[in-house]
Chain A
């Protein structure tokens, strides 16, 4: 039964990806002046370069065929050639993909640990602690990542000098050191969001009858909270945390630009400014795919975690 739901879900994902790829490919034709004028955008291109462009985008074929050929190439790892760097897009993206992956995993861990801890704390400690956490998280949600970035740079990099101002670093620990502030900036709104939802979920579980019954039977509070409250509250928490992680993907463009970290996101922005469309297309494809895939994984996890969802469908 649940397999059927996953299949249907997979079909929607496939359609979404297909629509996304058509938008990303077709964008070329929406550009004022047509694809060749747009791709060269005033750069003098040699006839051989022009021919290579026509060949890569299959400009001499009908649209659907062109799109299919392009997609076939993309699926086989052919992302085209950068118009600015004059080399394969795949080679340009490799190291940057690693940097962005570091950043995403780092903030993901921060969100899960800090967000959930704050939420559980706020639900269990009524009074000052709870009020402090709910108020700060309400404000935290409203602070966009690039503003957090600027404040963090000012305080921790410029004034205190604890962290480097910009750059991505090399090697594992140097990278972590360089990416700490960017990861915090990227994670902060999501931490606030996850903390609020965790608080609500835990508070709701606390009020349930089985929890009251367990407390009434004299089971130590610590055990009740760990076994009955937090574990049941995990279901909505995992879902929401996952969706929040997916939303980070687009946020990397902003945070990497703010910290001048040389990752996929900042490369996307510089390629937009340099009008290097093959690179823009490739990064957009990768980011959209990442975003959609995380969403799907979370959706499937939801059913795995909660037997009721499986039975309901």
Chain B
């Protein structure tokens, strides 16, 4: 008896499945960790089992218990609740920095590559000059002028990160502009804006996304540092970077939990984002100039 094998019709999602199967373990780790952290950032404050700011001095430095799953800090506040509540400022502020810097950097880069000549040289020089600034220092200066809080550092970091995106996207866009299809589109009479938006930008999208993700990882470190220094989020509001700092006093007295848990979450965030960014950049065949 012969079995006639009817070939299965290709699953509508098969290109997606093939792509997912080709992804390596490290990327999986990065994506899963990042997903969990994103959930904490979005829903964390709602999931917190207790008020993250409720102090109870008689319950300071308690170990893990059914009431406090991760124990308490020096003021008797529930550590788990504070960690869940502290993800927003630690992750959303860097996200704003990365998105704004990517939007600005990409726009400037495409404009520079499209017009070429003097415009390109002038904008590239601007990138070089801004690139010469240490980001954290400008953020600290911004706080000195505009006062404590995250707004000033977020603005300052955005400006500093523009060349991080701009330089690489510009090199990619310059390569695209020299290709015949752009010339062909010009000959057909399409406007510069149309060609840039419909052809140029989609063809450098991999670079843009990779740089945006890498920017996000740098921003997580810098924003955490600002909060660690006490210049950003102010007490009693919970934040991972600020918790590393406020836990230092307890750590010296032998209770390292607060600093270590908060630090671990920051490291996980930076690690997963930067691994993802590296892989995306490799995938984009970036020519780093």
User: Is the Cβ of B146 less than 8 Å from the Cβ of A31?
Assistant: yes
How far is B241's CA from A280's CA once the two chains are assembled, in angstroms? 23
- Tell me, rounded to whole Å, the shortest Cβ–Cβ distance linking A248 to chain B: 10
B252 — which chain A residues lie within 8 A by C-beta? 153, 157-158, 165
The dominant DSSP class at the A interface is helix
How far is B267's CA from A145's CA once the two chains are assembled, in angstroms? 11
A153 — which chain B residues lie within 8 A by C-beta? 248, 251-252
A292 — which chain B residues lie within 8 A by C-beta? 132
User: Is the Cβ of A291 less than 8 Å from the Cβ of B229?
Assistant: no
Q: Is B162 an interface residue (CB 8 A)?
A: no
From B132, B254, B256, B270, residue with most partner A Cβ within 10 Å: B132
- Tell me, rounded to whole Å, the shortest Cβ–Cβ distance linking B133 to chain A: 7
- Tell me, rounded to whole Å, the shortest Cβ–Cβ distance linking B184 to chain A: 33
Q: How many positions in chain B have a CB within 8 Å of any CB in the partner chain?
A: 44
- Tell me, rounded to whole Å, the shortest Cβ–Cβ distance linking B31 to chain A: 16
User: Is the Cβ of B140 less than 8 Å from the Cβ of A272?
Assistant: yes
Contact with B along A135-147 (1 / 0, CB 8 A): 0001101111111
Contact with B along A165-203 (1 / 0, CB 8 A): 100000000000000000000000000000000000000
Q: Is A123 an interface residue (CB 8 A)?
A: no
User: Is the Cβ of A27 less than 8 Å from the Cβ of B145?
Assistant: yes
Q: Count A-B contacts at CB 8 Å.
A: 132
Choice from B141, B221, B231, B241 contacting A24 with Cβ under 8 Å: B141
Q: Is A32 an interface residue (CB 8 A)?
A: yes
From B147, B225, B271, B274, residue with most partner A Cβ within 10 Å: B225
Contact with A along B230-245 (1 / 0, CB 8 A): 1100000000010011
Q: Are A288 and B134 CB-contacts (below 8 A) given A12-B128, A150-B260, A277-B144?
A: yes
Q: Which residue of A lies closest to B259 (CB)?
A: A150
Q: Are A269 and B140 CB-contacts (below 8 A) given A15-B129, A154-B260, A250-B134?
A: yes
Q: How many positions in chain A have a CB within 8 Å of any CB in the partner chain?
A: 53
B248 — which chain A residues lie within 8 A by C-beta? 150, 153, 258
User: Is the Cβ of A27 less than 8 Å from the Cβ of B141?
Assistant: yes
Interface residues, chain B, with chain A CB atoms under 8 Å away: 125, 128-129, 132-138, 140-141, 143-148, 217, 221, 224-225, 228-231, 241, 244-245, 247-248, 251-252, 254, 256, 259-260, 263, 266-267, 270-271, 274-275
For the A-B complex with A142-B270, A154-B251 known, give 12 more contacts whose Cβ atoms are closer than 8 Å: A16-B128, A16-B132, A32-B147, A138-B275, A143-B267, A146-B224, A146-B241, A150-B260, A158-B252, A269-B229, A280-B141, A291-B133
Interface residues, chain A, with chain B CB atoms under 8 Å away: 12-13, 15-16, 19-20, 23-24, 27-28, 30-32, 38, 138-139, 141-147, 150-151, 153-154, 157-158, 165, 246-247, 249-251, 253-254, 257-258, 268-269, 271-273, 275, 277, 280, 284, 287-288, 291-292, 295
